[in-house]
Structure 1
C-alpha cells in the first residue's frame, strides 16, 4: 500500500505574505445560489507542447528543447512530482464525491441535496468536513443536527466517515477511471528516480483507495500520500506541499506540482513550487493566472500534452516579455 505520512506537530513555515488563509465560509463573492463569473487565465496555456518558445497571451515562456528526457542527468530532473488527487488523478468530484455526500445526507434523512452547480461553489472550500460545516453555517443546520458547536464537530465527522465509505465503494468497483496520462507520467518519474507523492485535502482513506485500486499495488508501494488532516490548515494554505518537501528532504523549488484548482495552485505557488494545471470538469474556468503551464490533461500519445522532460524544462524556464 502507499505510504501515508502521520500527523505532524509543526505548522507551515511559509511566509505570511505568501500564505492564503483557509476560508471557513462560502465566498461572499459567490453566494450558494448564484454561480460567479469567472475569467480565463492569461498565464501559460499550452495545448500541445513541442519544445521551443510557447506563446501565452501577455507573456511567453522560454522552454529548453531536448530530444529525449533520457538525456537529462538525474540532477536536472525534478526532485519530486506532487499530484493533487481529485480532478488530477481522477475526475471524481461531480460523479464521485458529490454523489457520496448526497447518499449520506439521504441515509441520515437530513433533507439536503447538493446539485452540480452548488457543489462547484462548495469546492472553493478545501476539505469535506470544512465544506459541510461552511454550508450548514450559512444555510442553517439540519433539525437532526446537535445544537452545540462541539457536538456538531462530531456530527460532521460522522457524516464524512460515512461519505468516505460510500466513495471508496465506487473506487473499489473502478467506476471512475484514471485521467489520461497519469499512469504514463508516474511510471516515467518512478523509473528515473523522481519521488512521487499525492497531496490532497480529501480523506486519507479515500486517497489511498484511489492510489491502490486505480494505480495498482506495485505503484502504490512507491508513492507517498499526504492527505486529509495530516496538516492543520488545508489548501490554499501551502502546508501540505511544504510537508511533502520536508518529508522527502528536498527543496520546494525542486518540486513540480500537478493541480486542477485555483486553491491548489495557490497552495503550490505559496510553497515556492512550479505548478502545472490540468483542468477538470469543475475548474475549467477558474483563474489560473499564476500557473506555470495549463493543459486540458496530461494526455497519452497521440494526444500527449506534456511529459517528465517538460517538467524538467519548467524548472529552468525564464519569462520573457
Structure 2
C-alpha cells in the first residue's frame, strides 16, 4: 500500500495534504505540482541534493508528474518517474570522504601511548607505565580496543587496591577520559605530521574535479582534536574542501529528519508523525544489526541516537554536500566503525591501516591500504573501487 501526498504552492513545504486512506512506511507515491518537496525518510538518498536544493524536485508551474519511491532491502531506494527533471544540474560522478584519525594523521602512532601514560600520572597510578613493547603487545592482543587494553593490563599487574570490584568500569572510563584530554593537548601543542602522501592525494583528486569531504562529525572530542589536524592542510586546500562536522550533519536534510525536529516543524502533523516513526524504525534496525554483529545482547531505546546512527548520518550528509549519491562516494576510513556505517548504506569503503590497526583484518572494506601514494592508495585506485 502506498502513501499519497499531494502538494501545491510556490516554495518548500508551504502546503501539504496527506491522504489518510493509505499510509505505508515502505513505499511512497508522491504527486508533485508546481515547486514541491519530496520527503522520504525510511531510506533517504541524496540523489537530488544539489546546490542546497535538498530533496526538492522543481518543475515548471504548468507541469505535473508522479514519482514512486520503493525502499529496497539494500537501503537504497529505487525511483521510477514518468518524466525527466527539466532543470537537472550536472553533478560529479564520484566524491571521496576522508575520516580524520588514522587517515589524515596517524595520531595513535605519535601520541596515544604517551597520552595513556599522562592519564595514569594524573590519576596517581604510579605503577602504570606503558613502554612501547608493552603498548604494542596490548594493541595486538586487544585488536586495538582501548578499554580491553586497560582490562588486560590491570588484570596482569593488579587493579588499584582501593578500587571496589564493582567500580572497574567507571575507573576505566575515567582513564579513557583523561587519556582523550591528554591526547587532544598533545595534538594541539606538538608538531605532528600528516600522513605521507596525503596532500598529493587530495591535490590529485581536486585537480580531477572530485569533491573531497572531511568527516569530523563522529570524532572523539571533535573540535579540540580535529581542528589542528585539518588546519595542517593549509588554507588553499581547505577553501576547496568541505568539512562536515556535527553542525553540518544537523543542517543536512537527512540529519534534520532522522536526528532532529526542525525539518518536520512545518509539515502537517500527521506527516510529521510518519517521519518520526520511520526515523525510529531506522534507528531500531541499525541498532539491532550492530548488536547482532557484535554478538551482544542490548536493551535498545529507539529514542536515543547511537554511535553508528551518527556515523551513518555523517556519511549521508557528506554525500549531500558533495552532491552525489551515497553509492557514488568512496569512504577512506581509519576505523572499523566507519566501515560498518558505510556498509550499512551501501557506500564503498577503503581502509587505511595505522599503527593501531596494522595487524587487523577488515573484511567489510573493498580494499586495505597501508598509506597514500605509490603502491598504496591513489585517486586512480579510488576510481577503480567505485567502478567495481
TM more than 0.5: yes
Distance 1:124 1:171, change over 3 A: closer
1:156 equivalent to 2:173? Answer yes
> So what's the TM-score if we normalise by structure 1?
0.57
Per the TM alignment, residue 147 of structure 1 is displaced from its structure 2 partner at its CA by 9.1
Q: Which runs of 5+ in 2 are unaligned?
A: 1-40, 45-70, 76-89, 251-258, 260-304
Please tell me whether the aligned partners of residues 103 and 195 of structure 2 are also in contact (alpha carbons under 8 angstroms). Answer: yes
1:57-101 CA deviation, whole Å, 9 max, x = no partner?
xxxxxxxxxxxxxxxxx745323x222222222222143123212
- Distance across 2 between alignment mates of 1:124 and 1:263: 12
1:78-129 CA deviation, whole Å, 9 max, x = no partner?
23x222222222222143123212211112213444522214455644xx7x
1:315 equivalent to 2:386? Answer yes
Per the TM alignment, residue 293 of structure 1 is displaced from its structure 2 partner at its CA by 1.9
1:83 equivalent to 2:103? Answer no
Distance 1:297 1:162, change over 3 A: same
1:241-265 CA deviation, whole Å, 9 max, x = no partner?
4423236525321211112444443
RMSD (CA atoms): 4.3
Among candidates 113, 121, 132, match of residue 106 of structure 1: 121
How many equivalent pairs are there?
A: 237
Please tell me whether the aligned partners of residues 197 and 244 of structure 1 are also in contact (alpha carbons under 8 angstroms). Answer: no
Per the TM alignment, residue 207 of structure 1 is displaced from its structure 2 partner at its CA by 2.0
Report what 1:233 is aligned to: 306
Per the TM alignment, residue 201 of structure 1 is displaced from its structure 2 partner at its CA by 4.0
1:296 equivalent to 2:373? Answer no
Among candidates 246, 249, 257, match of residue 317 of structure 2: 246
Distance 1:124 1:117, change over 3 A: same
Q: Secondary structure at the match of 2:220?
A: coil
Report what 1:208 is aligned to: 227
Report what 1:198 is aligned to: 215
Among candidates 262, 276, 280, match of residue 350 of structure 2: 276
Among candidates 183, 194, 197, match of residue 181 of structure 1: 197
1:118 equivalent to 2:138? Answer yes
- Distance across 1 between alignment mates of 2:365 and 2:355: 18
Higher relative contact order (CA 8 A, sep 6+): 1
